[in-house]
Structure 1
Amino acid sequence: VTLDPDTANAQLLVSRDRRGVRWTDAGQDLPITPQRFDASCCVLGCRGFTAGRHCWEVEVARGRTWALGVARSSIPRKGWFEFRPEKGIWAMGRCGNRYRAFAFPIVTFPITGETGRVRVALDYEGGQVAFYLAEGEPPIFTFRKASFGGESILPFFWV
């Protein structure tokens, strides 16, 4: 996944190759634009999907808080917002010593061993977003009956 630095919150440093991101407490002096997240420490991928099946792996920091998944291209970029399918975000993440699927209601489950990698699988026509922690294992969580409304769906990251 190639990240779109024009969407990155000013607290996020996107790597030169645009394949990595990390939080910084220093912040950056970046232009305020409609596509940039101003309150939430989020960044989107460059390439959106409007059809097909797509899969990518993400290396995550062990022991840190994070969330990832997919989002509609129209999600708000200004102010705070909830990570929920009804708001156009299908995501899961690590909070404290538990994984959390940002469904409604939120689903939590214990961390039984961190691999440091998460695979995201998007099936646009099938309306599913699945998250895998290990190769060959069943998904840790799947959003089913997702309604993407014909919109472009982008990789989503919160750091």
Structure 2
Amino acid sequence: VTLDPDTAHPDLVVSEDGKSVRRGAGRRDLPDNPERFDYWPFVLGHQGFVTGRHCWDVDVGDGGDWAVGVARESVRRKGRLSLGPQGGIWGLEKWGGQIRALTTRKVTLVALRWLPRRVSVHLDCGGGTVAFFDAEDGGLLFVFSRVSFAGERVRP
């Protein structure tokens, strides 16, 4: 997966090769193009999927908060959006030292013995699942099932 800098929130800095992102020192002065997130510090991948099975690993490290997952191509980019399937996002986040699944209307705490340093995201468009695993030990973290993307492109 390579990240699309045109979608990156102005607080985020995408590496030259598009393989990593970090929070910058402050809000950068970037064009307010329609595809750029302006409220939540998100960035999408260049790749999009409509069919098939796809997986990728994300190095989340030992430090701060993070979120990984997939979003519909039509996900709202401007202003506040619903974080979860109702907003077109299927994700897992670390926030305040807890792992949480971004489920409908409120988050679901994920009970873990330790915090993962690498998360493996498994997308099955036909099977309607988005699953998250600890990439180091293969343990299942959370799975969204019976997901319908309604034929829409989904992006990391």
Aligned residue number for residue 109 of structure 1: 110
1:135 & 1:116 partners in 2: Cα distance? 8
**1:97/1:110 contact within 8 Å kept:** no
Give the letter for the 2:73 counterpart.
Answer: S
Aligned residue number for residue 119 of structure 2: 118
Q: TM-score, normalised on structure 2?
A: 0.94
Residue 106 of structure 1 and its aligned partner are, at CA, apart by 2.0
Range moving further from structure 2, 106-115 or 43-52 = 106-115
Q: Percent identity?
A: 45
1:71 & 1:65 partners in 2: Cα distance? 19
Residue 48 of structure 1 and its aligned partner are, at CA, apart by 0.1
Range moving further from structure 2, 102-111 or 69-78 = 102-111
Aligned residue number for residue 35 of structure 2: 35
**1:72/1:151 contact within 8 Å kept:** yes
- Structure with bigger RCO (C-alpha 8 Å, 6+ apart): 1
Range moving further from structure 2, 105-114 or 21-30 = 105-114
Give the letter for the 1:94 counterpart.
Answer: K
Residue 137 of structure 1 pairs with residue 138 of structure 2? yes
Mapping of residues 17-36 of structure 1, within 5 Å: 17-36=17-36
**2:57/2:135 contact within 8 Å kept:** no
2:102 & 2:143 partners in 1: Cα distance? 11
Provide, for residues 13-41 of structure 1, a one-character-per-residue CA deviation record: whole Å limited to 9, x for no partner.
00010110001132211111100111111
Aligned residues: 155
CA RMSD of aligned residues (A): 1.3
**1:50/1:150 contact within 8 Å kept:** yes
Range moving further from structure 2, 128-137 or 45-54 = 128-137
1:121 & 1:17 partners in 2: Cα distance? 23
1:31 & 1:136 partners in 2: Cα distance? 41
Range moving further from structure 2, 130-139 or 64-73 = 130-139
Q: Name structure 1 gaps, 5 residues minimum.
A: none
Q: TM-score, normalised on structure 1?
A: 0.92
Aligned residue number for residue 55 of structure 2: 55
Give the match's secondary structure for 1:6.
helix
Cα 1:148–1:93 shift into 2, 3 Å: same
